[in-house]
Structure 1
Amino acid sequence: MTRTLTAALGRYRHTAALRDGEVSSPSIAFEFAEITPISRAFAPMVRQQRFDVAEMAIATALQALAYGKPITVLPVAVAARFQEGALLCRTDSDMRDPADLVGRRIGVRAYGQTTAMWLRGILADGDGLDPAASRWTTFEEAHVAEYGDPPWAERAPPGANLLDMLRDGTLDAAIVGNDVPDDPAFRTLFADPTAAAARFRATHGFMPVNHLVVVRRSLAEEDPALIAELVRLFERSRDAADPGGSPAPPIGYAAVAPSWTLAARYCMAQGLLPETVSAEALWPGPPTA
């Protein structure tokens, strides 16, 4: 018997075969919601469990579990990247490295945005930079309604634009997402983002995961075999992808757990979680010996 699952999933090289039906299963069919950008699916999934299956940022997934939301997180990453190229300042800025962010105004879509979480952790580890030492401007509330911005963050005026505020000097720096603007008015605050990314990999041994796959908890509890088949479909779609380009994000507990563990540490240090969430929360838990 085939079960149709509603799904919110971005189109990537490694998910294209699944999205296009080139990889299929006799037990699972999909009804895909077209949501762009895919981040707009995160709050509906957290707050109403709108979909059976959904892509979700790792920081949002950690917050969702910490605040008791009925989702199950699969060890399936669909987006991973190094973060250093997403921290921008104006080309004519007097800042020369991230340590210069002390006392400066930093803009970000939301305080709990995963890219910002990774960057704050990287800056704290590498430069000892306390997030409270800068002033933060946010443009959206958190996907998890229970979380509120810290006292050192304020909401941008209605209708304000992140890059416009950076361009006119209202902000000293900005953290963007995957789409880094190709604009001569801006430069990365890391002098050499590639070298900084290499340092992260040398230290931690992995590329940071940005987005994972989650399912409604009731679905995972009702039919674990269906969830195992779902993971296999993501693996098959990854394996069917064009081998060109950057490596596909990891799948499997051992491959995903290091990113989850470090992200949980960073989230706790930054006050994003009421309590930590260990990697054992990933479905179906750590492999048995």
Structure 2
Amino acid sequence: MLQLSIACGDYDRNRPLLDGRVQIDGVEPVVMRLNPEEMFFRAMRHEAFDICELSLSSHTLRVSRGDAPYVAIPAFVSRAFRHTGIIVRSDSGIRRPEDLKGRRVGIPEWQLTANVWIRALLEHEYGVRMQDIYWVRGGLEEPGRVEKVKLDLPEGVRIEEIGPEDTLRDMLADGRIDAFIGPRAPTSFVPSNPGLRWIFDDPTAEARAFFQKTRIFPIMHVIGIRRTLVDAHPWLPMAVFKGFVESKRVALEHLSETSATKVTLPFIEEQLRQARSLMGEDFWPYGFQPNRHVLDYFAEAHHHQGLSARRVDPSELFHQSTLESYII
């Protein structure tokens, strides 16, 4: 048995693997439940984990440069429609995406996967180019956040770095920026604060329309395995992939048992039925082929936005053994 560190988020789809109900063949796990910011920082700066959740954007960037420290498997443990990722000041006069043109918009980092998706959404669905916005970059809740990678921005893109003592949350509150884009809302974005709102009156309706048009459920994170381990143990990627697939299956089976709701949130049964009606029985698919169109869309946007040095073919992101499966 290989004793390997596994760092990933404490999501329902990961939990059967993290708590031992699901095993990875040949692996004795040392489990760490961490938030994305810590995992990604430690993985990309220090290769701190044997198996870990990775930002799709950071991994794509490193693959494009030829220095990726991890090999991914197509277990997409984090996905999200990012129509809720655009938050505006209520008094800004911004009522629709087109109103963002010429405005000062805060971002924690240019290369965040959520921001790649949001910029692609703005350009393709609403005609708002990245050059149309004046970007303001820095820490959301704490000062001093840096961009993890060196950027080669497309012509015409403007990014201003905030002051060393500033935060985007405070700048949004006092009007120095008009809007914020990112995967995590500022702590000031609460129902009791009428000063901030989503740009869409009904983000869910916008997301449903986007999916019906494109069949895209945006991917945020993949699972990576340290490249040196993969080279030494070529059986490992498929073993890890099978473990995450089984973990998701157990989680969805648990979620679907609604005689006693497993999630502390009302309307779960209705939302499950709506998701399956719109997106199919497997509404959160793992595997390369079912997600090829999603990954192609992302790879094109990633390169267009100046992040990947070349247009990466999505198959390059994953270990070859996980791109196909046997048939009985």
TM-score by length of 2: 0.81
| 1:94 maps to 2:104 | no
| 1:275 maps to 2:310 | yes
CA distance in 1, matches of 2:213, 2:55: 23
Larger radius of gyration: 2
Aligned ranges 1:107-256 → 2 under 5 Å:
107-139=106-138, 140-143=145-148, 145-147=149-151, 152-179=158-185, 181-182=189-190, 183-241=193-251, 242-244=254-256, 249-256=284-291
CA positional deviation for 1:120: 0.5
1:56 match: 54
SS for the counterpart of 2:44 is helix
Q: What letter corresponds to residue 120 of structure 2 in structure 1? A: G
Q: What letter corresponds to residue 115 of structure 1 in structure 2? A: A
SS for the counterpart of 1:33 is strand
Task: Report if aligned partners of 1:24, 1:233 keep a CA contact under 8 Å in 2.
Answer: yes
Q: Percent identity?
A: 26
1:43 match: 41
Task: Report if aligned partners of 2:95, 2:199 keep a CA contact under 8 Å in 1.
Answer: yes
Q: What letter corresponds to residue 305 of structure 2 in structure 1? A: Q
Q: What letter corresponds to residue 180 of structure 2 in structure 1? A: A
Task: Report if aligned partners of 1:58, 1:260 keep a CA contact under 8 Å in 2.
Answer: no
Q: Deviations over 1:90-138 (max 9, x none)?
A: 1222111111111100101111111111010011101221111211111
Q: Deviations over 1:167-207 (max 9, x none)?
A: 21111110132457324321111232122111220122131
2:17 match: 18
SS for the counterpart of 2:170 is helix
CA distance in 2, matches of 1:47, 1:217: 15
CA distance in 1, matches of 2:26, 2:217: 33
SS for the counterpart of 2:255 is coil
Task: Report if aligned partners of 1:58, 1:263 keep a CA contact under 8 Å in 2.
Answer: no
Q: What letter corresponds to residue 186 of structure 1 in structure 2? A: L
CA 60–20 in structure 1, closer or farther in 2 if over 3 Å, else same: same
SS for the counterpart of 2:235 is helix
CA distance in 1, matches of 2:99, 2:151: 28
CA distance in 2, matches of 1:98, 1:179: 18
Task: Report if aligned partners of 1:6, 1:51 keep a CA contact under 8 Å in 2.
Answer: yes
CA 131–207 in structure 1, closer or farther in 2 if over 3 Å, else same: same
Quick check: 6-15 or 66-75, which moved more?
66-75
CA distance in 1, matches of 2:40, 2:205: 32
CA distance in 2, matches of 1:206, 1:124: 16
Q: What stretches of structure 2 of length at least 5 have no aligned partner?
A: 139-144, 257-267, 276-282
What is the root-mean-square deviation in Å for CA atoms of aligned residues? Answer: 2.2
Q: How many residues matched?
A: 286
Task: Report if aligned partners of 2:153, 2:305 keep a CA contact under 8 Å in 1.
Answer: no
CA distance in 1, matches of 2:147, 2:104: 20
CA 90–171 in structure 1, closer or farther in 2 if over 3 Å, else same: same
CA 46–253 in structure 1, closer or farther in 2 if over 3 Å, else same: same
Task: Report if aligned partners of 1:111, 1:149 keep a CA contact under 8 Å in 2.
Answer: no
Task: Report if aligned partners of 1:80, 1:211 keep a CA contact under 8 Å in 2.
Answer: yes
Task: Report if aligned partners of 1:54, 1:213 keep a CA contact under 8 Å in 2.
Answer: yes
CA positional deviation for 1:26: 5.0
CA positional deviation for 1:34: 4.4
Q: What stretches of structure 1 of length at least 5 have no aligned partner?
A: none
1:257 match: 292
CA distance in 1, matches of 2:176, 2:159: 14
SS for the counterpart of 1:6 is strand
CA distance in 2, matches of 1:166, 1:32: 37
CA positional deviation for 1:148: 5.5
TM-score by length of 1: 0.91
Quick check: 83-92 or 245-254, which moved more?
245-254
